[in-house]
Structure 1
């Protein structure tokens, strides 16, 4: 009998804690195998290496068994049918958007709380405002005059499409006589919040508790790990961002997720 040799990834303590907080492997399977079609079974101990690899690719890379509203896949991706011994399965036509229409899955409330140590773009200060973008939607805060540490406490709302990407954030300096100058930008990954919300269901039925976490890494703009919580029946997440492509600046946000099926 042959032995398959593998090299396991090393997990940090923070990554292990985050996995435990969202319920471990059972909750991950509840999300990534929620729509496992009839006739497509999970590999068993006697399954071949090819069958295991095909299932793993379908589950995680192609996201074929996720609820369609959570998938982040290219529009060119195609799903194979469950025949000829293949594991991957076609998605239900009932979840496909009509041509020319955008299907939304929820509302994202973003409270832009404050900025800290923002960049100077005028003589001694700046007149900052924040712009948020998801797809073709755009929302912005009020302009605060001559302030590098502005406090907005302003709530903006954006609809989230089924095929969503990150929330784009930009800070600008308002100018009267010329184009507004950019003062930095950042992205917010929405998948941890939306995935956690889908895994735990109706927050009105649950006590206050953490349900997920977006971890700080060199690939994102987080200043610290961002925990997703149920608070008074609402799904919320506090996010502190270091602005990118600028000499200085931080932005604090509070997100709230409202699924349209709630």
Structure 2
């Protein structure tokens, strides 16, 4: 995930001030740059191993959130908390969920369950809330088809409803005095919160708050803009416009922030373990002094380290690449470099992401098609282990 956020600086002569930076969240962790055009010079970073959790700063602005980091004995640093502010509450919700899913994916790959009480986090919470009538779809836009909108992954612990990530942004804008939002998959839940949610549920709450809506005339919020969704949710929960005897008034849709338009959303995270190559006949030792691999997924790229040019190089390296929903295939290119640093593509291959099982390491022996006559080899291939973790 990428986009502009404001980050509170460290204490200096002028005190702590807010600084607008371009942030990138990927398989290496969270990095920030002075702006989008200066990605080569990171101003700071939080490594994936040190990320602990992210959550809304509920007592502050609805667009503020906190990222907590583990203590690091290697760096000699104590546990710390970073303050961030997103351009909108919807954007804040996306950043919080993206950080949480990245931490959960890391924990699953390390064989641990992460921090927190397992009885009140993750699958047990999902199972209890899914059993409540009406909770199989979003309380507001009614989306239940994962090809159109994500299934409910967020909840309002005081209103007693569950909803999709898109509608969660509008709930955050209502303020915590009206809707206290928690992630069903990531946040920790108390027994009292779960018991209250089980007493209510989407079906019961909507029967009251939408009693004044004539049957079959509820707007299609799945196809509506984010501003129209926000206006409907405000009318429903804050103004009570759709109660029995309500006036049906829906406030004008707010104008969309230009900063939010520039947000880039990712659909998943692909972990690539580059094991080794086989039968890679290099032209000669001078022309191919070193080899490395490039991985492309849409506009995003990752590159392996260089190793000595040989027919059977061994890397044993792991990388991670974010995936957008439109990205269908991973492009892998084998690059050779001569002693002067000049490069040549020795072959390439593709792997369809949708053919990979979800959240399971999959071994792939990827054939490389030669891209030039000088690079023709006998049965060249790369050994890969791919793990795709969708974010929704």
Q: Which interval holds the TM-score relative to the shorter structure?
A: 0.3 to 0.5
TM-score (norm 2): 0.32
Bigger RCO of structures 1 and 2 (CA < 8 A, at least 6 apart) = 1
Q: Which has the larger radius of gyration?
A: 2
